[in-house]
Amino acid sequence: MKVAAIQMVSTPDVAHNLARARHWLQAAAAQGAQLAALPEYFCLMGLQDSDKLGIAESFQDAAAPIQAMLSQTAAELGLWLIGGTLPVHAATPARVRNASCVYAPDGKLAARYDKIHLFRFDNGSESYDEGRVLEAGEQPTTFVADIDGQALKVGLSVCYDLRFPELYRAMSFADPAQPPCDLFAVPAAFTYITGQAHWELLLRARAVENQAFVIAPAQGGTHQNGRRTWGHSMVIDPWGEVLACLPEGEGLAMATLDLERLRSVRQQLPALTHRRL
């Protein structure tokens, strides 16, 4: 099955960002993708964090433009669509949830995951604290996609979640009666500094330790707010091999997921069955 990680350099203009996202989704479908994933904050990279509050949507509101675009585009293109993230109204005043919404090829909502781990960074010259605007999620989330008659169990995560391997274990083994995840999605907007140091390292580690594919669509360039994101959208196989990578700028990182390869890795090195904790 063919998948596409979409890389963007989003702006403060929501309409422009939605048009660019739709453009790349159409390009992915034209190249044979059956599942496509957008990056974190694909719909808005504002001039300040509080800009998210102004475009926040009510969950499953039929008039909400961001969710409507994702649903309609998934249906029109016949794609499984992991919709990066968008701000959804939260219970806490002056906060939003950073929500990743997944749509099936018929346009229906298949899953929603709210980012659990909130990023905070301060190196003396650059600082960032998502907790000023975001309310953390609390529930690990998976869904099963039926692609060409094959069931693909997908675990959802967002950006900073990547640093917490226990989340990925929880998604695979919350129910011992169910199989582990075949694919993890990591839509992200890693900073240039942290991305250069840790992005590929962490992605490949999550793939290897969970013997699963990873799709990681990212923001990749210099934004109008002056922030530079690392990019390097990737698709990685269960052995840690990078199948596709787009270093910077808008575009697609496309690859074919071979489920026989996944089964072979797990059979030859059955590390997941050797867990003791």
The DSSP bridge pattern shows strands 109-114 and 35-37 to be unpaired
Structure tokens at 164: 């917490």
Q: What is the DSSP letter of 132?
A: G
Angle at 111 between CA 161 and CA 84, to 5 degrees: 50
Return the sign of the alpha-carbon dihedral for residues 267, 33, 112, 187: positive
Of 35, 275, 39, nearest to 170 by C-alpha is 275
The amino acid occupying position 99 is A
Token pair 């089964």: residue? 263
Of 185, 115, 187, nearest to 145 by C-alpha is 185
Catalytic residue numbers? 40, 115, 159
List CB contacts of 241: < 8 A, sequence separation 6 or more: none
